[in-house]
Chains A and B, each alone.
Chain A
Amino acid sequence: MDFAAILSAAVTGAIGPVAAAYALAAIGLNIHFGYTGLLNFGQVAFMLVGAYGVAISVSVFGLSLWLGVLVGVLCAIVLALLLGAPTLRLRSDYLAIATIAAGEILRLFYRSSYAEPLTGGVFGLQRFANEFYELNPFPAGEYGIGSITFSNRDLWVMVLGWGLVALATVFVYLLIHSPWGRVIRSIREDENAARSLGKNVYVYKLQSLILGGVIGSFGGMVMVINTQSANPDSFDPVVTFFVYTLLVLGGAGRIAGPLLGAVVFWFVVVFFDALLRQAIAAGYISSDIIGAPQAGAVRFALVGLGLLLLMVFRPQGILGRKEEMVLNGR
């Protein structure tokens, strides 16, 4: 077994474009769940409308990619309004049910043959981000330290992805450390108390849903720009659960929680993946027990075990504060 290769694969996964896309989705979800207390189980829907906003604008309507980004953001705002207007008066568990359903409805609609002229149905849409790659300032080649290398193409996507993560983190920091953020956090604690002090809770929840949704839609855009391919089935509910997982892992309700969570989560996932594959190839694990095709599923079982241990021994996440966790036991 080549441990150096396993480690460098894990580091590559932790700082690669996919981790950046998940970090963005988690920063958005952190506004919803970590700060406002909204149990949004449909974050993937915001990623989907963002991704397809770009893909459809370019592939079908021949618009500029940058106009596509604007369309994606507008789609996320419209989705937040449609989703929020009827559901934000509901108690939090009903919001969770409504949002998870909305995510699945959107995915199934985008992959339906009815929507195929626009979305490409099950085949999705491809090659819509050329405009972005044409701007790549890095000359062709491999960049990196030692065995951790990225192509100039990956590097350019990483600049975009982590650049957006940095912007979004600063944005959320400013929002949360303001009177607006104080109202948002008070709604998380007790919305009737906020109401009794004259705060229009409904409007604040809607604003929170829109902001977090728009940031999440950028996550979806980075994801499909990275692969140059938008496919409805890459936006299944599991994505939302991964986003929750890494948010809780990093620390919900902490500014850097989603960022750290995304890096650690993808490090661990890729680490187990590479470890299993190497162990199977080297014959340490008999292919009768776990064959190479099953390794992908087993790594998530191991990730699940890791999370279980995290919940038992550090439920507040890496950056979370224990004392706040205790106070949450209302």
Chain B
Amino acid sequence: MVDESTATLSNVAAEPGASKPDPILAADGVRRSFGGLNAVDVDHLELQRGAITALIGPNGAGKTTLFNVLTGFDRPSAGNWSFAGTELRGMAAHRVARLGMVRTFQLTKALARLTVLENLQLAATNQRGEGMFASLVRPLWRGQENRYRELADELLARFRLDHLREAHAGTLSGGQRKLLELARALMTRPRMLMLDEPMAGVNPALAQSLLEHITSLRDEGMTVCFVEHDMDMVMTTSDWVVCLAEGSVIAEGPPRAIGANPAVIDAYLGKHHDEPSSPEQPS
């Protein structure tokens, strides 16, 4: 399966703004400025359906701001973007989520005083009992609630959180919260997952199981885009890498090519790092 998704991307030119054979997300001229600073300034970006795309870049490159804009949590200064054919500009965050583009947060947002199970149940979509009046008439939603509870239990077992089912989410460790947030996002049955630093603060053993989850999701047909600083994860997990620096896409390509890309090395290490530094250096 891994070969299949890399194969579809094998004919794509490794250059910024390259068009993909089957993009699920396409952005044009998306710019977000804070005062005089252009935090995000992306001319063109496409993300391939059914692939794992990693978004990398040095600190302050605008990765999270781009995430916020694309998912409706921030308003851009200019630009248009579409998800699965729907224009998203000006759309409220909850409506973007309902379309199937669901995000997680860099600083996990576990709902502390809800139980782990409730965190997952909350995420289920089209719940009849979420209407103010319908909520008073239990028979209207009891069946659906039971079905969703079973689904939540399956996910909890899959993420090895089932022993914490009744615990308050606020008592979970940082890594467990990352797992919970991923499981909760999946509970919405998304078409695309946007993960903001899913590995930050997660111990290596848990990170390994998270990676397996993410690749197996892709193998089941889900599109994944994640922001990550951990290069091991980027290299082993992603099918395509997009590198941002100072708000713009400076490089794109398959993971192996991106590691050798001079623009990426420049962005991370600063320009002229490999030049003989100065005349006064002893020869």
Contact B135 A190 (CB under 8 A): no
Question: 3 shortest A-B CB distances, which residue pairs?
Answer: A327-B170, A179-B129, A180-B135
Question: Which residues from 311 to 330 on chain A have a C-beta closer than 8 Å to any C-beta of chain B?
Answer: 323-324, 326-328, 330
Contact B94 A174 (CB under 8 A): no
The verdict on B86 contacting chain A, using a C-beta distance below 8 Å, is: no
20 contacts between A and B (CB under 8 A): A174-B135, A175-B132, A178-B129, A180-B131, A185-B113, A189-B111, A189-B113, A194-B122, A196-B185, A197-B97, A197-B123, A198-B95, A198-B97, A198-B102, A200-B94, A211-B132, A323-B168, A324-B113, A324-B168, A327-B113
Question: Which residues from 176 to 213 on chain A have a C-beta closer than 8 Å to any C-beta of chain B?
Answer: 178-183, 185-186, 188-190, 192-201, 207, 211
Question: Which residues from 155 to 212 on chain B have a C-beta closer than 8 Å to any C-beta of chain A?
Answer: 168, 170-171, 184-185, 188
Contacts A174-B136, A196-B105 aside, 14 further interface pairs with beta carbons under 8 A come to: A178-B129, A179-B135, A180-B131, A186-B111, A189-B111, A190-B111, A192-B93, A192-B105, A193-B110, A195-B97, A197-B97, A198-B102, A207-B132, A323-B171
Cα A196 to Cα B125 in complex, Å, equals 12
The verdict on B43 contacting chain A, using a C-beta distance below 8 Å, is: no
The verdict on B256 contacting chain A, using a C-beta distance below 8 Å, is: no
CB distance from B116 to the nearest CB of A (A): 13
Cα A174 to Cα B111 in complex, Å, equals 21
Among A182, A188, A192, the residue within 8 A (CB) of B122 is: A182
Question: Which residues from 245 to 301 on chain A have a C-beta closer than 8 Å to any C-beta of chain B?
Answer: 253
Contact A198 B129 (CB under 8 A): no
CB distance from A214 to the nearest CB of B (A): 12
Among B93, B114, B141, the residue within 8 A (CB) of A178 is: B141
Among A182, A194, A197, A207, the residue within 8 A (CB) of B102 is: A197
The verdict on B63 contacting chain A, using a C-beta distance below 8 Å, is: no
Contacts of A195 in B (CB 8 A): 73, 92-94, 97
CB distance from B14 to the nearest CB of A (A): 32
CB distance from B128 to the nearest CB of A (A): 8
CB distance from B277 to the nearest CB of A (A): 46
Number of A-B contacts (CB under 8 A): 111
Cα A173 to Cα B227 in complex, Å, equals 42
CB distance from B149 to the nearest CB of A (A): 11
Contacts of A328 in B (CB 8 A): 112-113
Greatest chain B CB density within 10 A among A175, A179, A186, A195 is at A179
Per-residue CB proximity of B45-67 to A under 8 Å, as 1/0? 00000000000000000000000
Cα A195 to Cα B122 in complex, Å, equals 11
Contact B97 A182 (CB under 8 A): no
Number of interface residues of A (CB under 8 A): 33
Interface of A is mostly: helix
Per-residue CB proximity of B91-135 to A under 8 Å, as 1/0? 011110110001111000111111000100111010111111011
Contact B105 A179 (CB under 8 A): no
Cα A174 to Cα B142 in complex, Å, equals 13
Contacts of B188 in A (CB 8 A): 197-198
Contact A180 B94 (CB under 8 A): no
Contacts of B138 in A (CB 8 A): 174, 178
Contact B184 A197 (CB under 8 A): yes
Contact A185 B93 (CB under 8 A): no
Q: Which residue of B lies closest to A325 (CB)?
A: B113
**Given A175-B136, A182-B118; A190-B109 close (CB under 8 Å):** yes
Contact A178 B103 (CB under 8 A): no
Contacts of B95 in A (CB 8 A): 198
Cα A41 to Cα B266 in complex, Å, equals 54
